[in-house]
Structure formats: C-alpha cells, structure tokens
Amino acid sequence: MRKTKMDDDFQGYLVEGAIFDGAADIPCMLSFKNIIVPRALAPFTARKRIKSEGVFLHCFIHDFQFSRLITETKIFIDELTHFDGIICPDPTITVGGSRTINQAQVYFSRAVGFYLQKHGIFAVPCVRWGDSSTYDYCFLGVPKNYIVAISTHGCIAPCKQNNNLLRKVFADGLPVMLRTLKPRIVIVYGRMPDDIFEPYKSMATFINFSSDLQKYFDEKEGD
C-alpha cells in the first residue's frame, strides 16, 4: 500500500532526537561551534547548475519551489553536502492568518534544519515573523548568540510599490528578534534600508546579499 506524508507522521523522522521548545513544541536546531559565513548565496532551485564552493543555498523563493526539501528531505542530503551550507526553508508566515498553520510553518523550517544538521550540513536558521501575535512562537527553536538569516524580500520591495503593512510588520519585529535571539551574525537577503536597520547595527554583525529582484530593479534604474 502506498504511504502518504500522514502515514509517515508528517515527516516524523526529521525530529528524531530533537528537543522541543515552547508551548508550540517547535524543534530546536543545534548550535555548531564553528560558524560558517557564506561568501555567496544561490537559490535552492539553482543547486544543479552552479559551482558549490563558497556558496550557501537559500529558500527565499516561492514556497512550492522548495516544498520537496520539506516533504522529501532525505533525498537531498548527498547534494547538499557539496555546498558550504544552506539557509533553512522559509515557509510563508501569513499576517492575520491561522495561528496553527503559521506555527506549522515554523515547525517544519526548524525540523528540516535540525535534520540537515544531524547529517553534518551547516544549516542556518531562517527567522520569519508576522505581527506581534506571532512573537511567542516564531523565534522558538533558534539557538541564541548564534547566526540567523532573515529576508526583506517581499516586504521591503525594491520598487515604489511597497506594501506598507508588510514593511511595518518587518520593522516592528526586527528589534524583537534581535533582543530575543541576540544573534552574533544576521544574514540579510534583500534591501537593508537605513531607516529600519541603522538603529540596530550595533546589536549584531549584519551581512547583506542582494536579492535577484533587487538586482533587476537596480539594473533598470541604471539604464
């Protein structure tokens, strides 16, 4: 009989041996002694056509493009060992959406990260938050005083048509994340506007990588 993800306890193997954090029981990722800082980022979808040396893969792309990394994690282990690291999956957190679904998104991001870490892959926790109602669970499972990755892609748009609500949600949550996790290093994928980031630059080392969309608009402005 064919098995489904439900038969497999929703990928229960991902969290074998994990410690769980908070009322939401979010699996805790590990804290590696030696932190690796990426020299370049490439999307998970490009993993077969790029040189892997010095490159971290990221999942700051549409959810469906990295969905198999969550549902079929095992099959990617050999591929991922060729890269210096990976930023954990970044499932969508919906502002005003279902608390249960948002918590599940956080759960699977940490669960995949923990599983990859157990297999020796340097997986960087990806931290995504919504409005203040998400603060009690969206930072769970992330080691303190460690390295994290965040993205402004989609909430601080590289064009004039910014979504003011998402921009405010990001700006409000950034200091909460920094105070809660006290990260030593923060990888930022996308724009880092001074009006949002400048007040907090003394709280961590920020390492910025331009998003593909940002590069596109920068090139258009330069034409």
Percentage of the chain exceeding pLDDT 90 = 80
How are beta strands 147-151 and 185-189 bridged, if at all?
parallel
What's residue 219's pLDDT? 47
Neighbouring CB atoms inside 10 A of 222's CB total 6
* Least confident among 35-44, 189-198, 208-217: 208-217
For the chain, report the end-to-end CA distance as a whole number of angstroms: 58
Contact (Cβ atoms closer than 8 angstroms) between residue 20 and residue 27: yes
pLDDT digits (tens, 9 = 90+) for 147-175: 999 999 878 755 444 478 899 999 999 99
Domain range annotation of the chain = 12-222
In this predicted model, which residue has the larger pLDDT, 3 or 53? 53
Mean pLDDT, rounded, for 131-159: 90
**Cα–Cα distance for residue pair 14/22, rounded to 1 Å:** 18
Percentage of the chain exceeding pLDDT 70 = 88
Give the residue carrying structure tokens 């074998």: 16
- Average pLDDT of the chain is 90
pLDDT(6) > 90: no
* Token pair of 142 as six digits: 């992330």
The pTM of this model reads 0.90
pLDDT(122) > 90: yes
pLDDT digits (tens, 9 = 90+) for 50-87: 888 889 999 999 999 999 999 999 999 999 999 999 99
pLDDT(194) > 90: yes
